[in-house]
Structure 1
Amino acid sequence: MVRKLLVSAALATGLMMSPAAKAEVSFKPLDKDPEEIVFGIISTESTSNLKSQWLPLMADMEEALGKKVKAFFAPDYAGVIEAMRFGKVHVAWYGNKSGMEAVDRSGGEVFVQTSKKDGSQGYYSHIITNVKNTNINSLDDILNCDKSLNFGIGDPNSTSGFLVPSYYVFAQNNVDPKKCFKTVRNANHETNLMATANNQVDVAANNSEQIGRSKLKAPAAAEKVKVIWTSPLIPSDPMVYRKDLSKEMKSKIKAFFLGYGRLGDVAGARKVLDGISDGLGLFMESNNTQLYPIRQLALFKDKIKLEKNQDIKAADKAGKIEAIDKKLAELAILVSHK
């Protein structure tokens, strides 16, 4: 066990940051615990929808901590990541890709993850189209790349809306979306689903959580879309706090999440959880290791992009690919020691 921990720690030191993150200015350290906790929410839907889902949980968190908890919303995922980086956000709900960016660039640390009501800890990325579009029923129907289709992809920091389809749908099929489709536009999950339902885009990236929520909150729109591709299981969303909060503050925050729906007003908490996304279950213990599969995906995608790049000298390309292969091998060891 000790050897496993030492191996993991040694390898993780060189892997927890992407090259882009290493080039960034380091995060701004906190002088002390904040007087009020600012809770960041990534923009998967409209702010009004997200407020109705998350503000009740924040009110309960405020009562449990005895400290003001303020919501922070941004028009894109990067806004929450950057706000955490500069100490303006202290706790946040992320997807795995944006969580990875927060850990690498913003002094973040994963402490719990979400689950579903049945206890499962994962969800799926989807490619969707309008149910009346009989010409599109599989990936083959959209990857002929005749530039006749309008495609809606997710926020660049979205796991299910961007990273997963970028790798599994496009990179593995040697397709550049910008060269394949008539237009490619970035939007959140809710916007992409509604755009597909209303024939404003022909195809879009989405996920099982948004489709499930739309079936509950916007059933007429949900009935107008069909799924033509489903990804492998994606780990449930991480909750991330600033790692330089005091141990006492981190312990209180973590205790709140792990106790929520388990202790105290169980029925009230579970009702709140049921209203978030497509219905959340209890929060589960987690840490930064849940990001390893996402790091592997990001590295694979970088490798494929490098291999296709004709503008890099062969020797330089070989060196960069070798460096990625080394990181992937190290990650494989980390995953095997989880």
Structure 2
Amino acid sequence: MLHRLGRQLASVVVLVFCLLAVARAQDPVLHFGILSTEACESLRIIWQPLLDDMGQQIGQPVQPVFADGYGELIDGLRQGRIDIAWLGNKAALAAVDGAGAEIFAQTSMDNGLPGYYGLLIVRDDSPIHTVSDLLRLAPQLTFGNGDFNSTSGYLVTGYYLFARQHVDPATAFKRTLNQSHEANALGVASGELDAATFNTDNWDRLALVNPQALARLRVVWKSQMIPSDPILWRTSLPAPLKAKVRSFLLGYGKTEREVQVLKGLQQNRFVASNDDQLLPIRQLLLFKERTDVAASQLSVEQKTARFREIDAQLGRLQDRIKPLEGPR
């Protein structure tokens, strides 16, 4: 009798687990990766309306995954813990090349521009007024560099401010920190940092959340325009789900409520994109590598061989970029 009851109970338990598994399979959670540029609760407030709307349209819940650095988001995509992510261009390059991700959309800035700019910032009372001042005083300064996977905070500034001047920021300054945009801005505003990298997107965000800190900052240098951030998904996501997500994002912003949600994110709308968005970033990385080789201790023969390889890669990239640029 007890043996029969035990078997019946075990059957019930198995049935319950099977039903739960089916329910999860029919209604899985989609995880959306977001870089923590400020307190998570503040980000959750501005992001949740978009994610709730997405979940309602695609028919399954969408949960945010906040990460302290781009590396966490890239690893999340690689390991399947994150399904969709909003990344900077350099981080997207790492995700496309090594994490099984692909670009399907691109943000469009609230100010109507198709991109943003990298910045070099100092405190408003700083004696630094030019890049030359920064480099001349570097041995006395504490410098806030960007996350290693940041396009504006590390790649663009690293090439234009330092590599072309044959300067290594890791050794040129008294102390160099690699950290988030927000940490850099607040560090400069408080006087803990003498100078730091930043960008115009986060400048506008800081104006909303901490105008007092922004008032203590001054821009010394601004980069060329950087393409606005891409949105990526794991290539292994089911095609029907991809179609739903793409349809939602590209069509979002038609109602007044949706417009206000996007304004909270400092965005105008989402537009279609693909991995070709990264071609100028790949080109920039190769330019930087060429500069590094020129400043290295390699022999003339080794440098010549490496230059030949890099120039061939640059040529192939340029051939791919030209058709995208179109007639002028």
Using structure 1 for the length normalisation, give the TM-score: 0.85
Moved over 4 A (4+): none
- One-letter amino acid of the counterpart of residue 28, structure 2: E
- The CA distance in 2 between the partners of 1:167 and 1:152, in whole Å, is 16
Q: Which residue of 2 aligns with 1:328?
A: 314
**CA-atom RMSD, angstroms?**
1.6
Counterpart pick for 2:190 among 198, 201, 224? 198
Q: How does 1:41-190 map to 2 (within 5 A)?
A: 41-133=34-126, 135-144=127-136, 146-190=138-182
Percent identity between the two aligned chains: 38
- One-letter amino acid of the counterpart of residue 142, structure 2: N
Q: Which residue of 1 aligns with 2:257?
A: 268
Q: Which residue of 1 aligns with 2:296?
A: 309
Q: CA deviation at 1:42?
A: 2.1
- The CA distance in 2 between the partners of 1:303 and 1:166, in whole Å, is 13
Q: CA deviation at 1:93?
A: 0.3
Q: CA deviation at 1:94?
A: 0.4
- The CA distance in 1 between the partners of 2:172 and 2:55, in whole Å, is 48
Q: CA deviation at 1:44?
A: 3.1
Structure showing the higher strand proportion among its residues: 2
- The CA distance in 2 between the partners of 1:188 and 1:47, in whole Å, is 14
- The CA distance in 2 between the partners of 1:297 and 1:45, in whole Å, is 29
- The CA distance in 2 between the partners of 1:65 and 1:204, in whole Å, is 41
- The CA distance in 2 between the partners of 1:84 and 1:116, in whole Å, is 25
**Aligned: 1:248 with 2:240:** yes
Q: Which residue of 2 aligns with 1:284?
A: 271
Secondary structure in 1 matching 2:139: coil
- The CA distance in 1 between the partners of 2:302 and 2:36, in whole Å, is 38
Structure whose alpha-carbon radius of gyration is higher = 2
Q: Which residue of 1 aligns with 2:202?
A: 210
Q: Which residue of 2 aligns with 1:28?
A: none
Using structure 2 for the length normalisation, give the TM-score: 0.88
- The CA distance in 2 between the partners of 1:313 and 1:321, in whole Å, is 12
Which shifted more, 225-234 or 167-176? 167-176
- One-letter amino acid of the counterpart of residue 270, structure 2: F
Is the CA contact (8 Å cut-off) linking 1:145 and 1:179 kept in structure 2?
no
Secondary structure in 1 matching 2:108: coil
- The CA distance in 1 between the partners of 2:27 and 2:166, in whole Å, is 47
- One-letter amino acid of the counterpart of residue 231, structure 1: S
Q: CA deviation at 1:272?
A: 1.1
Structure 2: state its 5+ residue gaps: 1-24
Q: Which residue of 1 aligns with 2:9?
A: none
Distance 1:118 1:83, change over 3 A: same
- The CA distance in 1 between the partners of 2:151 and 2:279, in whole Å, is 13
Structure 1: state its 5+ residue gaps: 1-31
